[in-house]
Structure 1
Amino acid sequence: MPGVIAETTSLFRSQIEDGSFSDVSLQILESVLVAKDVRALLEIRSSLQEFLRFHAKSVMDRIAAKTVDEKLNVAEFFVKAFALVGDVESCLALKYEALVLRETKYYNNNGFRVSYQEWYNFAKNSLYNGYYAIAVKGFNNALSCFQSELNADGNTGDYFMKDNIVDKIRKLRDEASAMISSSSVQALTSKYLKRKATECEQRCSLLPTNSQQAASSMFRLGINKRNERKLYQSQRKKQQMSVP
């Protein structure tokens, strides 16, 4: 069985390297992810995630000048591939790119353009998985699409329902924005506390030697001054005694 999985994995890798982004390649990938050994499955997934990340970026860069259809097909392929190997972040990143490509191609075609509901579901999925920056972009696009759909529909009825939808999207967008700020503050606070802890350790490591030296100097200086004062007082007494 391990030998079969290794061969299948190699076949999938060669498909990607040869530029075969088809349903057949996805079926091969699915057949790889059937290992019953949990540890082996995790290792396979980790290896394929790294492989797909590298090639997804490489391929998307390479086809930047291609038609929207070609880029869209490749992006959607990698969305499905990342979903299969459990790479949520990469899946959402490519999903966003695929939605933007669709929006670009079918902007004036109401039958094929991205609906506000698609953007909303994407943004909500991004938010709940902790990818707040992507979520904010998704919610903004959902609001924009919702307004465009209203304008295209020309239906001005049921304002209450429409306001509810807009409010719901805005609240979730604001929640995602707040999470970005919170994460930034937490990161800065963590860095600050680590720096202060390091500075404190450094001061503490130097404190015993420096403080002992300072105390010793002050102690010696005090003794010298006291001795000088006693000597001066003794000399004065002698002088007074010697006066007739």
Structure 2
Amino acid sequence: MSTTVSQQISLFRFQVESRRLDEGTLRILESVLAWDDYKSLDGVVCTLKQFMRHESLRIIEEIAGKAAEHKLLIVDFLVRVFALIGDTESCLALRYEALLMREQKAISDQRLLVSYSEWLTFAEHSLESGFCSIAKKACEKALLCLDMNIVDDPENYFVIEKIKKLKDVAVISASSKSVQAQAVTYFKNKNIQQNSQESYIPVEVKSSGSTLFRDGIKRRHRRQLDEYRHLKLRGITDGNTQNILE
């Protein structure tokens, strides 16, 4: 790693730890990610993801008592950082928290009102990333926004139909993956019983996280692992379930 890049990484970390969460800090990160040693950059990005996930939790706790406008500015900064380093899960999680925060505060400040199009865009991005349950809830939020702001406009009909179709895709996709998971769980439990004579003790990893989105992320990780194992079992099962979304 070049001295310049190393210095830029240290400077970025210092800026975040000092809570200088502004455009200048983002530009430092951009300069780090512009490094042309792609092999080494992968390791740098991985380290930055771990650093930012840890720091973002501390930052969110620190701003808990701040005004909504301040919170949203900080969350927007974190969203942009996670987007730059390619941490889709954290990026979407914070976007979701920001939308919910705005929705709650909009009761007293209409400037923070979340539009149906924002919920729809978020639903599309969530579905593309495999978070079907969250996409379904975002679609429901979008439909609720339209119901609360009824305007006699023919375009609304097409928008509502689009959202409903997206919601259906999310529901079907989540259900399809659930069926796969059940099949894999059956064979997994069977294998554990067969291997019990070898004194194998499965260790249950304790999950963390209190928000709905974080729970969705953990469920997605488990589904991905189950689906990978399911590919090995397809030769002995009759099902030929295909994922609706890749």
Residue range with higher mean Cα deviation, 96-105 or 47-56 = 96-105
Whether 1:177 aligns to 2:171 is yes
> Is the partner of 1:178 in helix, strand or coil?
helix
Shift of residue 127 of structure 1?
0.5
Evaluate the alpha carbon distance shift between residue 157 and residue 63 of structure 1 in structure 2; reply closer, same or farther with a 3 A threshold. Answer: closer
Please give the root-mean-square deviation of Cα atoms over the aligned residues, in Å.
Answer: 2.2
Pick the aligned partner of 2:152 from 153, 156, 164: 156
Are 1:132 and 1:179, in contact at CA under 8 Å, matched by a contact in 2? yes
> Is the partner of 2:160 in helix, strand or coil?
helix
Residue range with higher mean Cα deviation, 98-107 or 138-147 = 98-107
Shift of residue 149 of structure 1?
2.6
For structure 2, the 5+ residue unaligned runs are 198-246
Counterpart in 1 of 2:48? Answer: 48
Residue range with higher mean Cα deviation, 178-187 or 25-34 = 178-187
Shift of residue 202 of structure 1?
5.8
Compare CA radii of gyration and give the structure with the larger one.
1
The residue correspondences of 1:74-223 to structure 2 (distance < 5 A) are 74-107=74-107, 112-150=112-150, 155-158=151-154, 161-200=155-194
Counterpart in 2 of 1:5? Answer: 5
Report the TM-score, using the length of structure 1 for normalisation: 0.74
Q: Which structure carries more helix by proportion?
A: 1
Shift of residue 190 of structure 1?
1.4
Report the TM-score, using the length of structure 2 for normalisation: 0.73
Distance 2:116 2:3 in 1: 47
Counterpart in 2 of 1:210? Answer: none
Shift of residue 177 of structure 1?
2.2
Residue type matched to 1:199 in 2? Q
Are 1:93 and 1:134, in contact at CA under 8 Å, matched by a contact in 2? no
Shift of residue 9 of structure 1?
0.6
Give CA-to-partner distance per residue, 1:80-101, whole Å, 9 cap, x none: 0000000111111111112222
Are 1:89 and 1:131, in contact at CA under 8 Å, matched by a contact in 2? no
Distance 2:51 2:195 in 1: 43
Percent identity between the two aligned chains: 38
- Aligned residue pairs total 198
Higher relative contact order (CA 8 A, sep 6+): 2
Distance 2:193 2:98 in 1: 48
Distance 1:107 1:172 in 2: 27
Distance 1:98 1:163 in 2: 28
